[in-house]
Amino acid sequence: MLANPFAVNPAPAFDAAPWRLSGVVYGALLNHRPMLVALGSAADAAPYKGAPKAPVLQVKPRNTLVGDGAAVAVPAGTEALEIGACLAIVIGRAACRVSAAEAFDVIAGYTIASDIRIPHDSHYRPAVRQRARDGFCPLGPLVVPASRIAAPDALAVSVAIDGRVVQETDTADRVRTVAQLVADVTDFMTLQPGDLLLLGASHGAPLARAGQSVAITIEGIGTLTHRLVAEA
């Protein structure tokens, strides 16, 4: 497993079985109801012909993972990157076919993810070339034990670029709540200790350019920072 780059303080229930972040990150897409509303009639057009019935997931491979304060390269020829502020759910024990009622029993804590992508119009089929670039998933600054977050589906989220707040949102109004997302994903695959499951960004994610700094704050967790630099 990857060495944990964050200061981790597991909830007491997990003290007897220490874990590290595994380096495996799955992210939910189109999980914010306003995103589906914004798609409008496009959601009913071919080849999809309707809103997704199952979770739409992406994988953020290891090359995308960086810590708090990292510099992320903006690919040559790309004007700006989309910054998706996400609550990251940290799995604390092996989870297979977990019900929504049991979901919080397998959650160790939460951290923050910046789900970066080159803007594109592919919604149901995540575009690897636009989403899996080096450094495109900053994480941190630490893992907060689940016991300290009483209402993960109602946390205030803000994104600031160069010190100016450009998005104020929250973790509410999701197609799948934290518990339901864990249940639906573990219905068909096992999540392991240290895996991360991103709740998904809110509609209207802001754009940032090379030379700018980004700060994502989630209530009760802290602030994740990173900066964008021009690709060498």
Is residue 99 predicted with pLDDT exceeding 70? yes
Is residue 147 predicted with pLDDT exceeding 90? yes
Does residue 197 belong to any structural domain of this protein?
yes
Residue 103 gets the label, from left (phi > 0), alpha (psi -120 to 50) or beta, of alpha
As a whole number, mean pLDDT of residues 214-222 equals 97
Residue 162 gets the label, from left (phi > 0), alpha (psi -120 to 50) or beta, of left
Least confident of 19-33, 69-83, 105-119, 179-193: 19-33
Does residue 193 belong to any structural domain of this protein?
yes
Does residue 73 belong to any structural domain of this protein?
yes
Strands 196-198 and 25-29, by their bridges, are: parallel
> Is 0.85 topped by the overall pTM?
yes
Q: Taking all residues of the chain, what is their mean pLDDT, rounded to a whole number?
A: 88
> How sure is the predictor about 9, in pLDDT bands with cuts at 50, 70 and 90?
very low
Distance CA 193, CA 60 (A): 17
Does residue 2 belong to any structural domain of this protein?
no
Distance CA 113, CA 205 (A): 13
Is residue 5 predicted with pLDDT exceeding 60? no
Does residue 1 belong to any structural domain of this protein?
no
Does residue 166 belong to any structural domain of this protein?
yes
As a whole number, mean pLDDT of residues 170-195 equals 97
The residue written with tokens 């604390």 in the block is: 92
Is residue 103 predicted with pLDDT exceeding 50? yes
Least confident of 37-41, 116-120, 216-220: 37-41
Is residue 186 predicted with pLDDT exceeding 50? yes
> How sure is the predictor about 13, in pLDDT bands with cuts at 50, 70 and 90?
very low
Q: How many CA atoms lie within 13 A of 52 on its CB side?
A: 18
As a whole number, mean pLDDT of residues 81-96 equals 97
SS3 127: coil
> How sure is the predictor about 17, in pLDDT bands with cuts at 50, 70 and 90?
very low
> How sure is the predictor about 16, in pLDDT bands with cuts at 50, 70 and 90?
very low
Does residue 119 belong to any structural domain of this protein?
yes
The strand pairing partners of 107, in sequence order, are 91
Domain extent, residue 50, equals 7-230
Least confident of 38-52, 138-152, 153-167, 172-186: 38-52
CATH number assigned to the domain comprising residue 56: 3.90.850.10
**Domain total for the chain?**
1
Please answer whether residues 189 and 179 qualify as being in contact, where contact means their C-beta atoms are separated by less than 8 angstroms. Answer: no
Please answer whether residues 88 and 197 qualify as being in contact, where contact means their C-beta atoms are separated by less than 8 angstroms. Answer: yes
Does residue 117 belong to any structural domain of this protein?
yes
- Return the number of other C-beta atoms located less than 10 Å from residue 119's C-beta: 12
Quick one: pLDDT at residue 98?
A: 98
